[in-house]
Amino acid sequence: MNIDPSHSTPPGAQPVRAPARLARRLAAPLTCVALAFASVTAFAQSDAPADASAQQSTQQDAAPAAASPLGNTAAEVGKLSLEQQVRWLQRAQKSGALVKMSDAQLTALFQAFDPVVVPALIQLGPSGYPSYEFVLSRWERLNGKWPSKPAHMLVKLTHDPLRIYAKWLPDGEHSGEEVIYDAGKRTDQMYGHLGGLLGVMPMWTALDGSLARSQSNHKITELGTEFIVSQFMTDAKRYVEVGAPYKPQVEVKTLSGVRVVALTYVSPAGKPQFYAKKQTLGLDLRRPYFRTVEAYDNDGQIFEKIVIESITPKTFEADAFDPKNPDYKF
């Protein structure tokens, strides 16, 4: 099942809500994020009209045009209130308006947004789907070495309970490996086998054991869009804690065929206080989550790169997470 761009609400995603319900839904996350980013918001609003009535008039004039995202210039969107900017961006993603913009238009638009807009959008979500399949390429620096080619993976993931099936595809690192995780059976272990001749020996192993860590800096449970979003929000709060500027550098990139708005954040302290010294996160043009990650350590070396090449909401049969599935090699 493929995501059809003509459908604004794919299976598993949340539908567009009525204005009153959306306002209530926006209130708590916006309040939380806005308070957390108080220093940044204050700085961003310092250039706004000092006269409150003039500001209100400007917002009222700009707000009706927000219903048609392509009708707004970056300058006009920049005049909207924080809540209006978030609403505008939500509509632009769902309608496909961002996809139609040129690289220059997208860059100017995201430079005009209040720095709090993207965290608010991400926090409102959804950060993924209840059940979905995705293909990703992942590069990781392990034991100081950068791989000559990425791990190319097919992943099936569902929630409540969290269950994951991951297969390393033939054209990437660790080709032929398979892993299944089922939180309903064992929360701290996964079942899997290596590729090649050793692939005939499936076994249970700890999520963070030596075998798992020899192939990745992450647990299998950290696959998917939700982990990337969670890490982003954790770092966002740390920026506030240290009083650091939060406005990202903006550019548009196409990585492995995936076009994203790439937002680069340079942390004041680097690791271990932050996930990375510098991190570039690629925002999906249709959904409120990130499709790409590039993370750099304190010495400026890249230590991780992720590209989610495709993502498809799906409902799986029970055998999708069963080692006895005849399509698997356990």
Q: How many domains does the chain have?
A: 1
Residue 109 lies in a domain: yes
Report pLDDT for 306.
97
Residue 306 lies in a domain: no
Listed range (6-10, 158-162, 252-256) with the worst mean pLDDT: 6-10
Most confident residue range from 33-37, 208-212, 246-250: 246-250
Report pLDDT for 212.
77
Residue 117 lies in a domain: yes
| pLDDT confidence tier of residue 32, bands split at 50, 70 and 90 | low
Report pLDDT for 45.
39
- Which comes out higher in pLDDT, residue 98 or 57? 98
- Which comes out higher in pLDDT, residue 258 or 208? 258
Mean pLDDT, residues 301-311: 97
Task: Report the alpha-carbon distance of residue 93 to residue 38 in Å, rounded.
Answer: 26
Residue ranges making up the domain that contains 38? 19-124
Are residues 221 and 164 in contact, defined by beta-carbon separation less than 8 angstroms? Answer: yes
Report pLDDT for 178.
93
Report pLDDT for 198.
56
Mean pLDDT, residues 171-188: 93
Task: Report the alpha-carbon distance of residue 308 to residue 154 in Å, rounded.
Answer: 10
Residue 319 lies in a domain: no
Q: Residue 64: pLDDT above 50?
A: no
Report pLDDT for 185.
93
Over pLDDT 90: what percentage of the chain? 63
Report pLDDT for 18.
40
Residue 34 lies in a domain: yes
Report pLDDT for 196.
65
pLDDT tens per residue, range 156-168: 999 999 999 999 9
Report pLDDT for 47.
38
Task: Report the alpha-carbon distance of residue 101 to residue 165 in Å, rounded.
Answer: 36
Tokens, residue 68: 């048609």
Task: Report the alpha-carbon distance of residue 105 to residue 292 in Å, rounded.
Answer: 20
Mean pLDDT, residues 46-63: 39
Report pLDDT for 14.
41
Residue 89 lies in a domain: yes
CA-closest candidate to residue 29, choices 119, 112, 91: 119
Residue 76 lies in a domain: yes
Residue 277 lies in a domain: no
Other beta carbons within 10 angstroms of residue 177's beta carbon come to: 21
